[in-house]
Structure 1
Amino acid sequence: MIAELGLAALWMAAALSFAQMVCGSLALRNGGEAIAGLTRPAAMLQGLLLSIAFASLLWLFAITDLSVKLVASHSHVDKPILFKLTGTWGNHEGSMLLWVTVMALAGAAIAWLETRLPERTLQATLAAQGFVALGFFAFLLFSSNPFERLPVPAANGMGLNPLLQDIGLAFHPPTLYVGYVGLSVAFSFVVGALVTRQVTPDFARAMRPWVLGAWVFLTLGIAAGSYWAYYELGWGGYWFWDPVENASLMPWLAATALLHSVSVLAARDALRTWTVMLGVVAFSMSMLGTFLVRSGVLTSVHAFAVDPERGAFILALLILYIGGALALFALRANVISEGERFAPASRESALVLNNVMLSAILGVVLLGTLYPLLAEAMGTRVSVGPPYFNPVGSIFFVPMILVLCVGPLLRWRRDRLGRISRPVAFTGAVFVMTLILAGLLGDFELLPLLGLALAAALGVASFQPLWGRRIWRVPLANLGMVMAHFGVAVTLFGMASEAAFTREKLAAMAPGETVVVGDWMVSLDGVVPTAGPNWSALEARLSARYDGGPVRELRPQARVFVDPVQETTESALETRWNGQLYAVLGKATNDGRWQLRLWWKPFVTLIWYGGLLIALGGVLALVGHVFAHVRRQDLLRQIAIRHGKEQA
């Protein structure tokens, strides 16, 4: 009954999506005012129905209803309740239902709350959102029905991929989906503005919260996924340039550039073409990521599906949406001006240069991700990894960081470089001193050395816009910018430190033996069996001392899951303020020893602390813009009341 309720809600929501598209489109015609009143209710009711559909699927997983094919394929009666619930979106069909649910809730929020856009532009935006959602509804209902029943209920269920039975899965996929959906909303805003020829600051102010929100969630999702891969996969790394990892990075790069452009358009009525194009590119990157994950062209722990037919469906949607938007842009190109002009020495110019660098990095990642797939399609296997991504991406990343140090110091419209010479010189001195100091500390490769120096320079430069100002008078949006830029510096310092200072030890140890890795002395006390709800394991008992300090215990495991049967490694981490000790248990050797892999990774945790700071900066900026909008509306309301009293 619950499955049928969810499916019925899904069908009704699809019908409302079609109605939303039709009503919004007809409202743009002369005399369409009457039907325009139906668009908003259709969007809001659609959000309610999809909430019911997703709640139904969540309940089916919670009670382990093995008569539902999706539950039987991705859950098990003995699985802990948390992983039963996360199994709802730990698969292709459930994740797509979550996607359209968040999209519908976003559409409902636009219909309910949006007041800044002209009514025609809002109608066009909701029509575009309905059109985008309709494609995903068709995909779900005709090729990926999450509520399909089995002829005979399964006995126990097949279980979720053991690698995905982790607390990180509760946060990583949903945050990414919210980010992707935010970019779909931005895309709908762009289409609506193009249709009505209203690419204006009001359009940018209406779109900016959605871009900011999407960017924050993408940042959190990527950070959570990176940390999950770091501790769960047992490889000792935080980023592997896996194509599916890249599929989440590319929308983030495009969203970062879009965020800068839409902010300039909202504040200074410039970069209109940049904003429109980046809105299309950002959504196209999220669609491309969806295609890569669900088409079967990739083999990855991140991939959800191996069905080429589903991949073809998503590819068709990608071509339809993006091709249509680009065609519309071509038709409207002659009526979209660039807005206000600005001098080469200005904050706008710095943001344009920053966007060029971000776009170039996006191109590097896109090429490195797609080229092996194209080569394999032509019969040649090619591996593209860090030897390509790191140096080629750095060609554009290094100047981008330098611009990031200088850009926030410049004034809008026009400035003199001489005015900011002193803070720039100070930042340059920090860069040079850090470069020299790091060079004296060890024989490092060029990229980690540059990373340490750039991180120090950006860390100082991030706070320079606040020098001489009273902090309580600084707008929240500006504080958010400072915090986000400082977060980039913190993350960069963590990455560079991990690359420069990591020490690794691969040892075959017998109980009672000790090895040294970095400043740690690690002893193997023994290996004992242990078990969990749906797994058994061998657990190493390690005692570790840092620089002669107190003993710390680590418990890395080699697990064997049942239903499905799969072996995994569970790393053990000991975190200090200045880094992490990372331990992985391997196989037993013929002479009774145990293989252990140990890493000492100085300051590696700064990678994720920096990610949190970046996201927090986005949240501060979002709150600041919302408060500013509320204050502006209150002021306009008071002026209107005062004007009415004067006329009376």
Structure 2
Amino acid sequence: MIVEFGAFALILSFVLALASGGLAAAGRARLSLGLSGAASGALVGSAVMAGLAFLALIQAFVTSDFSVVNVAANSHTDKPMLYKVAGAWGSHEGSLLLWCLVMSGFGAVLALGRGLPFRLRTSAVAVQALLTSLFLAFTVFTSNPFARIDPAPVQGQSLNPLLQDPALAIHPPMLYLGYVGLSVPFALAVAALIEGRVDAAWGRWVRPWALASWAFLTAGIALGSFWAYYELGWGGWWFWDPVENASFMPWLAGAALLHSAVVTERRGALKGWTVFLALAAFSLSMLGAFLVRSGVLTSVHAFAVDPERGLVLLGILGLAAGAAFALFAWRVPTLTGGGVFAPVSREATLVLNNIFLAAATATVLLGTLYPLILEAATGQTISVGPPYFDLTFSPLMAAAMILLPAGPLLAWKRGDLRGVGQRLVWAAGAAMAAGVLTLAVSDLGKALAAVGVAVGVWLIAGALAEVAERVRLFRAPFDEVRRRTLGLPMGAWGTTLAHAGLGVFLLGAVVETSFKVEAQGVVSPGEVVRAGPYAVTLNAVRVVEGPNYLAEQGRVTVRRADGSGPRDLTPERRFFPTGGQTTTEVGLDFRGLDDVYVVLGERRAGEDGRQAWSLRVHHNPWARLIFLGAAVMTAGGLVSLLDRRLRATPLQPRKAAP
């Protein structure tokens, strides 16, 4: 009965979203507060119904209702409760319902806000409601998560064992808050084009939505990367997988949007570019949904879905993005004017920053789509991997990062380059010292690594220099410094955290990638594998039983080369009888900023006839900084949202003027 209620709630959510779009359009055309209010109410109702449908799906998973096709295909009675709940969004159908829930929820918040002018808000609600109804229609008619099966199987097939992980349990909701959250800037951009109003106030309305989406997207990508790092057992944290790129492209476009919206808000400039980025960011999110769900990609991250439904998703992308960009092309000649600025100014650095970010996004888009286009056109199969991205993406991002610390220290309209250089001289000195030190402890073959370390230190030191300048750390009495520090806006602290977090991430990524050591051996109990400054001894291997798997569990001891600091780890090879899949559970030894990463492989025959196992060991220096940096960037985005200057937004009710 609850399943039928969930199916009914899902259909009602679609009907209400469609009605909201129609009522909002009519309300805007007639300037009717009554119709606009009804549209807002319908969109809130759609969000409530989507929430009830999602709860009904979770209940079906928790109770192991195998009469539901989605539950039978993705759950099992022996599965731990956390993964029964996570199974609700572990499939194509369930995750699509989560997408609709997030989109309708954001639409409800937008509809309830009173900080926007009547016409702009009503148009934005209409766009958001129609977008929501498109995805709800796709869910209801092609991907219904409540479809029944008769007769019901006695047991389910279980969720993919690789997805039975705490990080993956919260990764999709976090990712979707960012992925789908970009629909609101998209709706606001389309509404602004309809109304012919793109000004500083519009930039201020867009910024908090873009900021929240970017912060959640950062957290979601980091969780997915951490899961891949310790769950897949390949020793890396990023592989330029097309599905990884599918979430990274909206992140890059969202970062560019944030910086561009600041210029539009403060100076009334870059109007057309900011609108374009708002449209592009969510269009890339929809493209990612198509890539992941259409079956054109083969990846552990992708949903295996038939091409027919992929074509429907492609149609949604074409309709929504095509209509939006057609409207943009029509309106762009009117998006002129704005503040004039000198080549040396904060606006100029933000423009350059946007150029590099946009070019970096384009290189990732090309590297992701080119193999698919080539295969469709010629049947030829190629792969585009790290060498391409190292050659194209890395230099562009390095240039953007080098510019980053200078921007906040430059004045609007016309800046003092010499003055900025003086404020950043110690940051430049620290960066150069870090680069030279890196070369000194390695060799000339690590010159690029030294440059990367220098840029990471430059970002961190530059962020600290900006705070020091704001509070006059070395130029004012202590009481004044204290007063300025306490009065510093939350947005300034958030910017500092985000920029410093990027530097921390870069340090971790460069050092881990350039200086990691891998060793592998076939060892019997008592034998050792050495990797860098660490020695790993295999003590024993035993069979253990988990809630829904059997495992060979290794007991290993990690020591430094001199024999000090012993620590025990238990890497595993797990076999899941349901589905017949085998996975690895990595043993991770956190050594300060470093990781010692141990993978237990297959059983082999030893040289002396004893049982032996393949043992792979990685020494990943500064790997902790990769994920710490992402966490600091996320914190920076969330802290910026607390800035009181962003409170007069659609997020806080305020009386609107028609």
* TM-score normalised by length of structure 2: 0.94
SS at match of 1:52: helix
Letter matched to residue 459 of structure 1:
I
Report matched runs for 1:222-237 at 5 Å.
222-237=221-236
Q: Specify whether residues 502 and 282 from structure 1 end up closer, same or farther in structure 2 by C-alpha distance, changes over 3 A only.
A: same
1:527 aligns with 2:526: no
Paired residues for 1:75-154 under 5 Å? 75-112=75-112, 114-154=113-153
Q: Is the 8 A contact 1:116 1:203 kept in 2?
A: no
Alpha-carbon distance in 1 for matches of 2:261, 2:7: 38
Distance 1:575 1:514 in 2: 19
Name the amino acid aligned to 2:552: L
SS of 2:88's equivalent in the other structure is coil
Contact persistence 1:293–1:304 (CA under 8 A) = yes
Answer yes or no: is 1:192 the counterpart of 2:191: yes
Measured against aligned partners, the alpha-carbon deviations of 1:495-527 in whole angstroms (never above 9, x if no partner) come to 011022211111111111123222212111111
Aligned position for 1:168: 167
* Distance of 1:565 and 1:422 partners within structure 2: 64
- Counting matched residue pairs gives 634
Q: How does 1:20-59 map to 2 (within 5 A)?
A: 20-30=20-30, 32-59=32-59
2:360 corresponds to? 361
Per the TM alignment, residue 633 of structure 1 is displaced from its structure 2 partner at its CA by 9.2
Paired with 1:376 and 1:261, the residues of 2 have a C-alpha distance of 36
Cα pair 2:520 2:529 within 8 Å, conserved: no
Within 2, Cα distance between the matches of 1:627 and 1:245? 31
Distance 1:279 1:66, change over 3 A: same
* Cα contact 2:530–2:617 (8 A) shared by 1: no
Secondary structure of the corresponding residue to residue 601 of structure 2: strand
- Give the letter for the 1:497 counterpart: V
Task: For residue 34 of structure 1, report the CA deviation from its aligned partner.
Answer: 3.8
Task: Go from structure 1 to structure 2 and tell me whether the alpha carbon gap of 1:625 and 1:366 turns closer, same or farther (over 3 Å shift).
Answer: farther
Which residue of the other structure, out of 496, 503, 512, is the alignment partner of 1:489?
A: 503
Q: Which residue in 1 is equivalent to 2:522?
A: 508
- Residue 242 of structure 2 aligns with which residue? 243
Checking the alignment, whether the CA contact within 8 Å between 2:439 and 2:446 is kept in structure 1 is no
Question: Is this contact kept in 1: 2:64–2:71, CA < 8 A?
Answer: yes
Residue 640 of structure 1: aligned partner: none
**Residues 261-272 of structure 1 mapped to structure 2, 5 A cutoff:** 261-272=260-271
The residue that corresponds to 1:550 in the other structure is: 565
Is residue 512–residue 620 contact of structure 2 (8 Å, CA) maintained in 1?
A: yes
1:68 maps to which residue? Answer: 68
Mapping of residues 196-211 of structure 1, within 5 Å: 196-211=195-210
1:475 aligns with 2:489: yes
Q: Is the 8 A contact 1:43 1:104 kept in 2?
A: yes
Q: SS at 2:300's partner residue?
A: coil
* 2:616 aligned residue: 597
8 Å CA contact retained: 1:483, 1:614: yes
Tell me how far 1:427 sits from its aligned partner: 2.7
Match for residue 386 of structure 1?
386
Q: CA deviation at 1:438?
A: 0.9
The offset of 1:338, in angstroms, is 4.0
Following the alignment from structure 2 to structure 1, what is the Cα–Cα distance between the partners of residues 487 and 15?
Answer: 50
Partner of 1:448: 449
For 1:348 and 1:305, the matched residues in 2 are separated by: 45
The 5-angstrom pairing of residues 396-411 of structure 1 reads: 396-411=396-411
How do 1:230-629 residues align onto structure 2 when only pairs under 5 Å count?
230-377=229-376, 378-443=378-443, 444-468=445-469, 469=471, 470-546=484-560, 547-591=562-606, 592-625=611-644, 628-629=647-648
2:424 and 2:465 in contact (8 A); partners too: no
Q: How many Å apart are 1:305 and its aligned residue?
A: 2.5
Counterparts in 2 of 1:626 and 1:44: CA distance versus 1, 3 Å = farther
Q: CA deviation at 1:264?
A: 2.1
Q: Show the counterpart of 1:645.
A: none
Confirm or deny: 8 A CA contact 2:595 2:619 kept in the other structure. yes
Q: CA deviation at 1:267?
A: 2.6
Give, as a single letter, the amino acid of the residue that structure 2 aligns with 1:524: L
Q: Deviation of residue 58 (structure 1)?
A: 0.8
SS in 2 for 1:467: helix
Q: 1:577 to 1:338 in 2, by over 3 A?
A: farther
Residue type of the partner of 2:591?
R
CA distance in 1, matches of 2:285, 2:266: 27
Letter of the structure 2 residue corresponding to residue 282 of structure 1: A
Amino acid at match of 1:461: G
Structure 2: which amino acid aligns with 1:381? T
1:5-20 mapped onto 2 (5 Å cutoff): 5-20=5-20
SS of the residue aligned with 1:220?
helix
Pairwise CA distance, 1:220: 0.2
In 2 relative to 1, CA 440–550 (structure 1 residues): closer, same or farther, beyond 3 Å? Answer: closer
Structure 1 pair 402–31 and aligned structure 2 pair: CA distance change class (3 A): closer
Per-residue CA deviation, residues 392-445 of structure 1 (Å, 9 max, x unaligned), is 112211111110121121111211212212123333322322221111111243
**Letter of the 1:605 counterpart:** R
Distance 2:24 2:299 in 1: 40
- Counterpart contact for 2:92–2:305, Cα < 8 Å: no
User: Contact (CA 8 Å) 1:449, 1:500: kept in 2 or not?
Assistant: no
Partners of 2:356 and 2:176 in 1: CA distance: 26
Paired residues of 2:374 and 2:380 also in contact (CA < 8 A): yes
Change (3 A) 1:624 1:33: closer
Between the aligned residues of both structures, percent identity stands at 43
After TM superposition, the structure 1 stretch with the greater mean CA deviation from structure 2, 186-195 or 327-336, is 327-336
With normalisation by structure 1, the TM-score equals 0.95
Q: Deviations over 1:346-369 (max 9, x none)?
A: 111111110110111101111111
Q: How far did residue 562 of structure 1 move?
A: 1.8
Deviation at 1:474, TM superposition (A): 1.0
Matching residue of 1:642: none
Give the conservation status (yes or no) of the 8 Å contact 1:480–1:616. yes
Paired with 1:269 and 1:625, the residues of 2 have a C-alpha distance of 21
Name the CA distance, whole Å, in 1 between partners of 2:574 and 2:34: 63
CA contact 1:116–1:202 (8 Å) conserved in 2: no
Higher mean alpha-carbon deviation, 59-68 vs 413-422, is at 413-422
Shift of 1:473: 1.6
Q: Give the letter aligned to residue 465 of structure 1.
A: E
Deviations 1:149-184 (A, max 9, x none): 111111110100010011111111111111111111
Question: Distance in 2 between the 1:189 and 1:87 partners?
Answer: 33
- Please tell me the residue identity of whatever aligns with 2:499: H
The Cα of 1:33 is off from its aligned counterpart by 4.1
Contact 2:254–2:281 (Cα < 8 Å) also in 1: yes
Listed one character per residue, the Cα deviations across residues 46-102 of structure 1 (whole Å, up to 9, x for unaligned) are: 111111111111111111111111000100111111100000000000000001011
Q: Is residue 525–residue 540 contact of structure 2 (8 Å, CA) maintained in 1?
A: yes
Give, as a single letter, the amino acid of the residue that structure 2 aligns with 1:501.
F
Contact 2:193-2:327 at 8 Å conserved across structures: yes
CA contact 2:529–2:615 (8 Å) conserved in 1: no
Q: Aligned partners of 2:31, 2:626: CA distance in 1, in Å?
A: 56
Q: Secondary structure at 2:89's aligned position in 1?
A: coil
C-alpha RMSD over aligned residues: 1.7
The amino acid that maps onto 2:5 is L
> Which amino acid in the other structure matches residue 165 of structure 2?
D
**Aligned partners of 1:180, 1:314: CA distance in 2, in Å?**
16
Give the counterpart letter for 2:424 in structure 1: V
For 1:242 and 1:42, the matched residues in 2 are separated by 40
Question: RCO (CA 8 Å, sep 6+): is it higher in 1 or 2?
Answer: 2
**For the residues of structure 2 that align with 1:199 and 1:120, how far apart are their CA atoms?**
13
What CA distance in whole angstroms lies between the structure 2 residues aligned with 1:203 and 1:20?
Answer: 23
Distance 1:496 1:273, change over 3 A: same
Q: Does structure 2 conserve the Cα–Cα contact (< 8 Å) formed by 1:76 and 1:160?
A: yes
**Cα pair 2:257 2:274 within 8 Å, conserved:** yes
User: Displacement of 1:451 after TM fit?
Assistant: 1.0
Q: Which amino acid aligns with 2:384?
A: V
Cα distance in structure 2, aligned partners of 1:340 and 1:305:
49
Which amino acid in 1 is paired with 2:116? L
